[in-house]
Structure 1
């Protein structure tokens, strides 16, 4: 305000002179009074962090691998909510991850193409980050990537490069049932086996890594509850009643216990672990507050779909034995 008054007084005093006769420096008097400094910070951590929120800066520069997945979308949203800069490597079409740009403020969400087997592209995505989160996982194998390629070799490569690049915090997401001795029901789960091996690989390369082991996660577009909604899961045989469809479940789901957890709660736990230095080297199991029999969960899904009259649970063990019996009979027929 004082600068404005000085400027007005100066103009009144020199109003009788022509503007062409004024010194050129006179027009710079007020401009020089503005707050400015030549000591410009060159590091992001030296900038003002603000009071919180998406328009502030929390000091976290996180690279999130697997950000386009089910859990990844929630993690990126939580990171952007506290004012973090998020680097999102992707190997799909760029338009598929473009929606994640909205999780942070303008210029705080960056995208970078990469390949899991290309170490140079991985180094470029983590070279400026102090946090790396590995959410890469696959429920099935492809001709290009086996379980071991994604869960074990890929996780080991990410952890090693992050350690070499000076990353402070590395977060790896495994599975609750991933362990050394896996109970064999019908056949050993290769998915859980490689998930356990990924934990060992990450610990070898990055001993201070934080490992999360969530149970079945539910939420919008999940693979847990929607799994029982797929038409491909419904068979034409339902308790031997021709006009009903059946959901084949191991022993009707009466011997399987689930403790599902909400996906946003897992994402919130990851954010809190990143911000807590005491969580380095910890293994965290994430489960929901309640336990349910799988049979009750499936019956609940059937009731939500309003298919109580046309869809029932079936015992999967019978149809497996039926397939084996059919295979044996066909072999005998071939021998004849």
Structure 2
């Protein structure tokens, strides 16, 4: 059989100007000369040796991913950097703050794997420098409140468009953009007198990214909780309370939340960066269960030992409180650049918004993430905010509050 193969084809190869020249005898008896390019001998093909995988797959190896993480010093960014470094990714971390605020991320990767680059969101040259050698770019830049230097449109729309356009021009393969679950073009105002610019700018930012980088991966996240978040900490902040009283939109009975753990969001972003099939996709970053906001508020205060019996906690409808708007105005007047306790109207509007889950859009579970239940994580997150923290209680002296009842989808 092997002899018949050689008699049929009679192939001979010659090295001609860096190519293989193959003379093939067809079944009709005609001779043909075919040039086959060879990467070993061609001077035209220059493989990128820096992108080759090396090592066994841990923090001291290299998996071929060179990722630029914008917003690396933020809440979600720190988790993303740690998980990228854990699987052997090289990271380029742009920063606009003091270098020593970003320096702590150096230990996320092995020696030489974490590089820093100063940048400004309005400086295209610094952005191009940060993404020039990357094959994955992750945009985690966001703004919960406006300042005199950066409005919502500057960050969520213009900034996202600029990043996506420069990444496309520099030949970046993957672009991942973190957005907001309830982003809408025309949202209905709940607490505000006009539609939320936070929601509108997040929606426009998604559209801008799609226009500039059509194959981008967009992840829409609900309220994200974890260490140093702006969700649980609002319920624990004294600025959000009136002594033991806690105001909520419609007493929390008209809002359903589906919070997600920050580590799950970070793992979904990393999995999306490793999977080429996530191009052009949109994912929902939501938790496994939905809860009534009133039940969540009661449970959070119970975990902090601030219930009705011990602490005198009581929630009520904020529309019956004329002092609460004055308090928000005073907080924003005292500290316009950083509202104390994250107390501002856009945050209250976001808190009052029901998470809109769409069953036809994939979630983090489709990215291979095992979602964390709030019942397993939140007690640990709220432990530093407990009342009577230095009281040596006996076992069982403080009753363990029952978790809230999940709401149907």
* Whole-angstrom distance in 2 between the partners of 1:53 and 1:219: 25
* Whole-angstrom distance in 2 between the partners of 1:99 and 1:211: 28
SS in structure 1 at match of 2:321: helix
Pairing 1:123-162 to 2, within 5 Å after superposition? 123-162=128-167
**Structure 1 ranges of 4+ moved more than 3 A:** 320-324
2:238 corresponds, among 231, 243, 266, to 231
Deviation of 1:160 (Å): 0.4
1:195 corresponds, among 195, 202, 227, to 202
The structure whose Rg is larger is 1
* Whole-angstrom distance in 2 between the partners of 1:270 and 1:323: 38
Pairing 1:183-222 to 2, within 5 Å after superposition? 183-187=188-192, 188-222=195-229
Q: Which runs of 5+ in 1 are unaligned?
A: 1-40, 237-244, 325-336
SS in structure 2 at match of 1:201: helix
Residue of structure 2 in register with 1:286 after alignment: 285
Pairing 1:68-83 to 2, within 5 Å after superposition? 68-83=73-88
Residue of structure 1 in register with 2:117 after alignment: 112
Count of aligned pairs between the two proteins: 275
* Whole-angstrom distance in 1 between the partners of 2:223 and 2:293: 12
1:312 corresponds, among 293, 311, 314, to 314
Deviation of 1:210 (Å): 0.3
After superposition, the CA RMSD in angstroms is 1.6
Deviation of 1:162 (Å): 0.3
> Which structure dedicates a bigger proportion of its chain to helix?
1
* Whole-angstrom distance in 2 between the partners of 1:230 and 1:193: 27
Q: Which runs of 5+ in 2 are unaligned?
A: 1-46, 327-409
Deviation of 1:220 (Å): 1.1
Residue of structure 2 in register with 1:34 after alignment: none
Deviation of 1:107 (Å): 0.8
* Whole-angstrom distance in 1 between the partners of 2:140 and 2:206: 13
Deviation of 1:157 (Å): 0.3
CA contact (8 A) 2:185 2:199 kept: no
1:43 corresponds, among 49, 53, 59, to 49
